[in-house]
A = this chain, B = another copy of it.
Amino acid sequence: MRDIRLLTEVFIPGTLIGPFSGANPGLGGICTFIGEVRAEDGVEALELTQYEPITLPGMHELADRAFARFDLMGLLMVHRVGQMLPGEPIVCVSAAASHRRDAIEAVDFCMDHLKGRAWFWKREKRAGEWRWIEPRDEDYTDLARWKD
């Protein structure tokens, strides 16, 4: 079961994960990561921009790579775009597998690639001013772990 989506409105991860888990009967383990807009340092809002012709297709390619690399039964990958408020979920990745390490590593793999290589541009608003977020060095280091 494969469910890859961009969402423009706030979502409740539990409403995605319940059906996803149910759609993969016989699974041994399911690992889920949910990223939220951190409420810190006076961040008032976050905005994620996509470029329609490549962002969702890029997520599908990433899912293909995850299925090729790990022994998965299902993969859910949902990413918000547009403006978000602190506490709102940005991203939800869930992997169902027979064995736990495939599920956990697939989530780790997808998250590193969503952070460091997927076609999103992020800016945040502090004290009324929007500022673009540059990728952190860590994001590249994390990504380098998966080099074939």
Contacts and interface: CB of A to CB of B under 8 A. Distances in A.
Interface in A85-112: 87, 98, 100-101, 103-104, 107-108, 111
B31 A36 contact: no
Contacts of A123: none
Interface string A8-41: 0000001001100100011111111111101110
Contact of A14 (B14, B38, B108): B14
B25 A29 contact: no
Interface of A: 14, 17-18, 21, 25-36, 38-40, 87, 98, 100-101, 103-104, 107-108, 111, 115, 142
Given A18-B14, A33-B30, A98 B38 contact: yes
A38 B18 contact: no
Contacts of A21: 34
Given A14-B14, A26-B39, A40-B26, A142 B101 contact: yes
Nearest to A98: B38
A18 B14 CA distance: 8
Given A14-B14, A25-B87, A30 B39 contact: no
Contact of A35 (B25, B29, B142): B29
Contacts of A142: 101
